[in-house]
Amino acid sequence: MSAPRRKCHFNSDDLQKEFPFLKPTSVSIYIVYCEICKSEVDVSNSGRGSIKNHLAKKKHTLALNAVSSSGKVTKFFRDNTLSSENLLIAAKEGTFAYHTINHMQSFRSLDC
């Protein structure tokens, strides 16, 4: 009878470079969190083999396809820096909205 094998744990140096989407969990050193498919993977028995099995699962491949095909939402937004012209426009829009509400006017009456 052979001696029992030691459990594998997530070695953040080697595996983190190879699989940057896997993060260690606070639950256990034997469990990693996949940021792509939002699931936990137990690496205690097979280590790298468990990770490779996880990469082949349907849930992970579908999530990977979804991540790669969709863009970032932030590309639809402007920068936080505003020019003086944009600040002037924002001030005028705020003044217009305040005047409309303060004098209880309809937006239709302000269209002319």
Evaluate whether 63 touches 71 at the Cβ level (below 8 Å). Answer: no
Residue 27 lies in a domain: yes
In the numeric block, the tokens 């305040």 are attached to 98
Residue 88 lies in a domain: yes
Do 18 and 65 sit in the same domain of this protein? yes
* pLDDT at residue 103, rounded to an integer: 83
Full domain range(s) for residue 94: 82-112
Residue 7 lies in a domain: no
Gap between the Cα atoms of 8 and 25, Å rounded: 14
Residue 8 lies in a domain: no
Residue 2 lies in a domain: no
Do 31 and 59 sit in the same domain of this protein? yes
Find the mean pLDDT for residues 35-56: 90
32-44 residues labelled b (16+ CB within 10 A) or e (exposed): bbbebbeeebebb
Find the mean pLDDT for residues 36-42: 92
Per-residue tokens: 54: 């996880």
Question: What rounded mean pLDDT belongs to the chain?
Answer: 84
Q: How confident is the model over 61-96, as pLDDT tens digits?
A: 999 998 888 877 877 777 778 788 988 999 999 998
